[in-house]
A and B are shown apart, each in its own frame.
Chain A
Amino acid sequence: MADGWAQVREDRRFVRGQGRYVADIEPPGTTHVGLVASPHAHATITSVDASEALALDGVLCVLTGPELAAETEPLRQYLDLPEVRWRPLADGVTRYAGEWVAAVVATSRAVAEDAAELVDVEYEPLQAVMDPERALEPDAAPVHPAHGTNELVRREFVWGDVDDDFEAADGSVSLRVRWNRNSTVPLETFGVVAAWDRGRDVLDVWASIQMPQFPEQIAGSLGIPLNHVRVHFDVDVGGSYGVKRGIKHAVLAGFLARRVGRPVKLIEDRAENMHGGDFHGPDRIFDVELAHTADGVVTSMRLDVIDDEGAYPGRSPLQLAKPIGSIVGPYTIPSVAYTATAVSTNKTGQVAVRGFGQSPTNYAIESAMDALARELGIDRFELRRRNLIPPDRFPYRIPSGTSYDSGDYQAVLDKAAGLADLPELTARRDHLRQSGLLAGIGVATCLEPGGGNAIFENVMNPANDKTTFPEACRLRIDGTGCVTVVIALSSAGQGHETLVATLAAQELGVNAANVAVARASSLAGLPSQSPVGSRMAIMLGAAVRGAADELKARLVAIGAHQLGVDRTAARYEDGAVVAESGERMEWGELVAIAHRKHHLLPDDLEPGLEAVHVAQVPGGGTLTKPDGTVQMYPTFSFEAHVVLARIDPAIGQVHLDEYAIAHDCGTVINEDVVRGMVLGGVAHGVGVALYERFAFDDGGQPQTLSFVDYLLPSIHEVPQVQTTEHCTPSPLTSRGQKGVGEAGYMGAPAAVASAVNDALAPAGVAIRHVPIGPSDVWTALRATHGVTA
């Protein structure tokens, strides 16, 4: 391979079609699950008759919600909501269209689906509540009557003298923006294979999973000890971006595997994935208000958000807390009031989505910054420069108590403007306008918090006092001198094998090509919180560093002993131990002594060269303080987007002509992986801005059941994106790295919306929601004078 080309080891199996996804795993005797889904958004289930299904040749069992509920615990939720019970199958009441009501197990998938169609379910429809603001009204139909209200949680925070700052301001702008319901919608649906080993009393689980505490939640719901659940992490995950949290799928499959005594495979079909899997993302209404000086310096902010969780909140309301850790974005806003309300409606349940609530919040803040610029007649780039945190003020403490580690936001914005050639881009925009089209330039500057400690659980629910989110690796130098790193997580395209091999090679001074990476199961493995929250470069960096330091110290002890010098007089250098005199002991000799020559080992050393290091989140973790201040994330990556959008006023269709992004995630460990994350995140954000929405009618019927209705951007819709990297290393991580898994997506929706609204500015209108479809543009233009549409 020529120098300069990518070195990502995972790619070589995927280009051969040799990825091993959960659908490819089929233990002998595997049976298959077919699902019965509710056609009603809200209904009482009056009867389930499975007799015809059970009579079908090949059907092994039909399971209903009440049967499952009698023998399992509800799925875990992170708020204290004892009356909101989330289960794999609806128990007596169905709360959204598409919710699973019964499950069939059969000897083939086709028979399971045939049988599911024969299960006769009778319903008595109930009133559905679909609008989150309507759901909060006292007379709204409750989704969970025993809970008493559709308000699941409401948290109010005030950091600083917000009222005084608004009083003293020269002016203020306020606006409402709507982030409509979308999700990451990976190409691979969620799947799980579960097998109960009666002889060993172990539940084996293979799943397309990206989920913290997945084994714990399976064990908890099924009521079996955690050390009897073995989740296999050597499964390739076909995309996730946050959502592959199929705990209800795994509990259902695990239960069925025990019941039928055979392996059970549950692979969602696309419609099940899009509406039955509880994999929707944030669905938010923001009211934003900025207080400002006459020259556009923002002096305070009020941010009020309502998040429509759908029927079952699970972990999703925690996504209202993460933005607290960067509540002022990259700006010097000195005081903030933040109110977050989570609401239940009769929609599919929500789950974590790329950025864990950060991208919608960035969209709200950036929309407000653009509105302020327009109000004051200040250039949007200039307005941001007046408000960006200057590089000499890091570490920078924001009003909500979080310290930003490092950054040079001005320099990155300048790079983005330079990469896009802003003067030339502006000339192109103006030329397009003169030719009769609408055209606009968009800008967004925003942060990507990385490597968090999960204290958002404590922020939203003080009873949850978790303050850490550790990650571990096992580093081994075997008796032949080969290096292996063992991790205990599955990956969905982030290149973790390449990451870990590179980190281990850097720490040990050996060739990365010779470092193997293996994945342990949850029983054989190590503490892991899974690859969420842009954390693996940070956390595995720390874990590998810790383990490597331990092994290097042992090698130095062995080398110094042989060379007859004090340990402090020898050092480790690229696989050898070197004394101050220059005398050396090479890798092979050191390894041989460690593994096989006890007589040459120093007295205080055990044989072998293996170390496990459990890494704590950099900066540690403490509970939220009584004044609501908190540090959830240690590192803050930054990105600046510049976009040129062109709109044909006759049809309202938006086309992105140019896209440039400047990005700073500190030290880059693998350029190709980082660039891929940035480009992929931008594409995902373009989808959110222009195409992707889970829509429902007023009665709760989903309107987007396939890729024909829910539009994923193709190569035609995603522009060729120019990228540039800037590097302000983090002082908190092993090599200065920060998170990158959510890059691009953090700012793309805001930037594209900014471009559309710049295009609409001459017409005097703005669109305050995403996605922005042709009909939205057309409607906005039609409302104006002098524009025919």
Chain B
Amino acid sequence: MSAPLKVELVVNDRAVSAEVQGRTSLADFLRDQLGLTGTRLGCEHGVCGACTVLLDGEPARSCIMLAAQADGLSVTTIEAVGGPGGELTEVQQAFCDTHAVQCGYCTSGMVLATEALLERTPDPTEAEIEEALGGNICRCTGYGQIREAVRLAAARTAGGDPEPAEILEVVQRG
């Protein structure tokens, strides 16, 4: 086995200096070496998006990227989303409020992809939501409540306080 490589990067706003094997993926590095297990592995070939992290603020798939490639970059994982006291961001709160979550396995990646979307596009159109989340597979929800979560977070970030009826898809009960 080849000699380990030394990497220096920023993970969740903290400088990290570590030795990694050349073949170690960024996802395995985060999970196994740093103990940041909120990053999930779904397909391990870059399709499902469960392993999404932010790399210098942009969504990236940590399963098909080597840890060594993150040298010098800034990585944000789900553990850094929300306040230190457990406060939820608007995006996280909106995912709860619309029940955009079932098994939770895609949720870390979905939340990070949504944070990145709203950071650059605070009031996204439906097409922009689809484009931003098109690489994140959810097998549970059918995406309906996820779409609503994005809209709700956008509305609240813009200072609004919408009622459920203003956000949710047409739902009639009788």
Contacts and interface: CB of A to CB of B under 8 A. Distances in A.
Most buried by B among A21, A676, A715: A715
Contacts of B107: 14-15, 17, 19
Interface string A1-30: 110111010111111111101011000000
A347 interface: no
B82 interface: yes
B116 to A, nearest CB: 15
Nearest to B86: A16
A186 B105 contact: yes
Interface stretch (B3-11, B54-62, B117-125, B133-141): B133-141
B2 interface: no
A684 B166 CA distance: 27
Report, as a range, how many residues of chain B touch the other chain: 35 or more
B137 A712 contact: yes
B101 A15 contact: yes
Contacts of A493: 101-104, 140
Contacts of B143: 679, 683, 715, 718
Nearest to A679: B142
Nearest to B107: A14
Given A671-B173, A720-B144, A726-B174, A15 B48 contact: no
A236 interface: yes
A620 to B, nearest CB: 32
B169 A188 contact: no
Contacts of A8: 96, 99, 101
Contacts, number: 214
Interface stretch (A237-245, A311-319, A333-341, A512-520): A237-245
A715 B142 CA distance: 8
Interface string B107-134: 1100100000000000000000110011
Interface string B36-54: 0111111111011010000
Contact of B50 (A187, A415, A721): A187
A534 B61 CA distance: 35
B-side interface mostly: loop
A176 interface: no
A418 to B, nearest CB: 9
Contacts of A492: 102-103
B15 interface: no
A-side interface mostly: loop
A672 interface: yes
Contact of A238 (B38, B105, B169): B105
A21 B139 contact: no
B58 to A, nearest CB: 19
B140 A712 contact: no
A564 B105 CA distance: 55
Nearest to A9: B96
Contact of B170 (A186, A238, A419): A419
A6 B146 contact: no
A239 B86 contact: no
Most buried by B among A1, A4, A714: A714
B78 A186 contact: no
Contacts of B43: 187, 270, 706-707
B26 to A, nearest CB: 15
A715 B130 contact: yes
Interface in B71-92: 77-79, 81-82, 86, 88, 92
A13 B104 contact: yes
Nearest to A748: B142
A29 to B, nearest CB: 15
Given A14-B107, A23-B40, A270-B42, 20 more contacts: A5-B97, A14-B103, A14-B104, A16-B38, A16-B86, A17-B77, A21-B40, A185-B139, A187-B43, A187-B138, A238-B103, A269-B44, A419-B172, A492-B102, A683-B142, A684-B142, A715-B133, A724-B170, A724-B174, A727-B174
12 contacts: A18-B38, A239-B103, A241-B139, A415-B172, A419-B172, A668-B173, A679-B144, A680-B140, A682-B142, A707-B137, A725-B174, A744-B142
Interface pairs A-B: 6 shortest CB-CB? A17-B38, A14-B104, A493-B102, A493-B103, A683-B142, A238-B105
